[in-house]
Every structure is written in C-alpha cells, then in structure tokens.
Amino acid sequence: MNTTAMNTAEPISDYELERGKPMPSLNHSVLQLRLGGLLSKNYAEQFLFASELSLSLADKPFVPDLCIYPKRKLDWQNDEIRLSEPPLTIVEISSPKQDFEDFQRKLKAYFDAGVKSFWLVIPFTETLTIFYPNEKPISFATGEAVDKTNGIRLNVDELFAKE
C-alpha cells in the first residue's frame, strides 16, 4: 500500500460529507444562482424552485443543486427539513472534482424515485444535457433547451454568458 499517496490526498470537507458531493467551485456557484434566477424569472407562476434541498428518495439522502416542483404554497412557520416527495426535475451542476459515475448513480436513483427529468450542467463544456427515463439524453451547447416533461425552455447562451 502506498501510504505517501494516501497522505497527500485532500481531506474531505464537512460540506462534502454532508451533501455527498464535492464542494462547489466559482463557476458552479455562479451557474447555480444564474440558473435559479432564469428559471424563477420565467416560470415562478408554475413551479417552485429549490436550491440545495435535502431529499430522502428511497431512503437515501440526496442534496441536488436545484429541484423543480409543481407550484405550492410555502408555510414559513412549519418548515420541512428533508423532503421525500420527488421533484419533477432535478438539476446537478458538475464540479471539477466530480466524476461521472456519481451522476450515473444519482440518475438511476432519481428516476427510480419518480423524477421525470434530470439536467446535468457541465461548466467546462458549456453544455446542458437533459436525461429522461429510458431515453437517449439530449445535449444543448447553444440555443434553446426544452424539457418535454415540464415545458421549461432555457436559453443556453444566456446561461453560459461570460459577463
């Protein structure tokens, strides 16, 4: 066993342990806020958008970057800590240290729990890929991405604008 290699690895942060995913980078953070803003601006009347929401799906904990639920009223005096109701759509933004096996595992768990679509945003390639159960994924690098399960349309160029 190579103990030198083991000792030089970066320690896993409390954030990573709690959420089961790498700590977000600058690009990840900016995209998460920008995506939430674009979605809320255009679809707040139809959907509820939640960021970093704790989910329990099939008794497994998940903390997606964004969740899209049908519109519902919020009760500010009675908060919900961990939801077991699957969202319509889950959005994950890849981080530099995240591998695709992680997304494959999550994708299966999300669809098994009843999620209708899964968006994977990859900052490095400036792409948004939409996955549906038992279908080939569709990737968007420019123009308008359309999610057929919820009717949401998103301008990919606006999402990845350099400003």
Q: pLDDT, tens digit, for every residue of 21-57?
A: 555 588 999 999 999 999 999 999 999 999 999 999 9
The answer to whether residues 39 and 68 touch, using CB atoms and an 8 Å cutoff, is yes
Scanning the chain, the segments in alpha helix (DSSP H) are: 3-8, 14-19, 26-43, 100-113, 156-159
Instruction: Please report the pLDDT score of residue 25 as a whole number.
Output: 80
pLDDT digits (tens, 9 = 90+) for 78-128: 999 999 999 999 999 998 777 788 889 999 999 999 999 999 999 999 999
Domain 20-159 in CATH: superfamily? tt1808, chain A (3.90.1570.10)
